[in-house]
Structure 1
Amino acid sequence: MEKPVVCVGALVWGPDGRVLLVRTTKWRGAWGVPGGKVDWGETLVDAVKRELREEVGLELFDVLYAQTQEAVLSEEFWRPAHLLLVDYFASADTHAVTPNEEIEAWAWVTLDEALEYPLNTFTRTLVDRALQVGR
């Protein structure tokens, strides 16, 4: 029996105030934020730090909870899935990205510029949240 999968992701601010967007193989060409599945026995914050280290080579600090979303059989995702998406805001002290095989492209952009990218709807909600709270 299929069950929901808990995932984490982070909108990361670099040292100059721009945020990191990535295009991955999993969101049908749409742009989003790095992230992935939470492992058994792992806290959400530990998971988001690990995922960002694995996917883009960044060490995070100032990790703050942003929001939780559900992606239930979203056609934007590469396969049918029920994802519980726990989103964070975080900072990194470098813009040096070391992508893994899931990352097709990346860009450091302002929040306003991020809205011009073809974002998946879940990332658009996260960027809107960052603009609301003035992160």
Structure 2
Amino acid sequence: MADMAAQERYPIPTVGALVQGPSGRILLVRTTKWRGTWGVPGGKVRWGESLEAALRREVREEVGLELTRIRWALVQEAVNDPAFYRSAHFILLNYFAETDREAVRPNEEIAEWAWVVPESALDYPLNRYTRVLIERYLEERDG
């Protein structure tokens, strides 16, 4: 029984944010983990860490930005997506947020970044989850 329990695997909770800067543009990032596609900053939730604390930490670590006006967006699930560099099962907890500056300080995970007009973001080669998040953002903004 102990061997079976040791082999159990569970989905990994992650947080990410579509971040809007003071210019009204949104931040897109390209990481090596998503095989060349673009997404939003974010990452894994640590044990004992609240979702908002994890979101603030991940964005600070990846792009050096502090978040304001954090608000819930949606939840998505990624199960063994071939766009991700390895087999994984993620629960993607997505937020909308703002920041008061646009000077990005990328860490080693960020290969490239761009501040883009929200409508233009859909022209980027996005991972499917970021595409859904941006579409929701545009619906809510224009709704």
Question: What interval of TM-score do these two structures reach, taking the shorter chain for normalisation?
Answer: over 0.9
Does residue 16 (structure 1) correspond to residue 23 (structure 2)? The answer is yes
Does residue 79 (structure 1) correspond to residue 83 (structure 2)? The answer is no
Q: What count of residue pairs does the alignment treat as equivalent? A: 135
After TM superposition, give the deviation of residue 120 of structure 1 in Å.
0.2
Structure 2 alignment gaps of length 5 or more: 1-7
Please, what TM-score do these two structures have when normalized by structure 1? 0.98
Among 59, 65, 71, the alignment partner of 2:72 is 65
AA at the equivalent of 1:116: D
Structure 1 alignment gaps of length 5 or more: none
- Percent identical pairs in the alignment equals 59
Q: Which has the higher helix share?
A: 2
Partners of 1:24 and 1:2 in 2: CA distance: 25
AA at the equivalent of 2:136: R
After TM superposition, give the deviation of residue 78 of structure 1 in Å.
0.8
Pairs within 5 Å for 1:120-135: 120-134=127-141
Partners of 1:126 and 1:86 in 2: CA distance: 10
1:93-133 deviation digits (Å, cap 9, x = unpaired): 00000000000000000111100000000000000000110
The structure number with the bigger radius of gyration is 2
**Counterpart in 2 of 1:94?**
101
Please, what TM-score do these two structures have when normalized by structure 2? 0.93
Secondary structure of the residue that 2:58 maps to in structure 1?
A: helix
After TM superposition, give the deviation of residue 25 of structure 1 in Å.
1.0
Partners of 1:25 and 1:93 in 2: CA distance: 27
Q: Which 4+ residue blocks in structure 1 deviate beyond 4 angstroms?
A: none
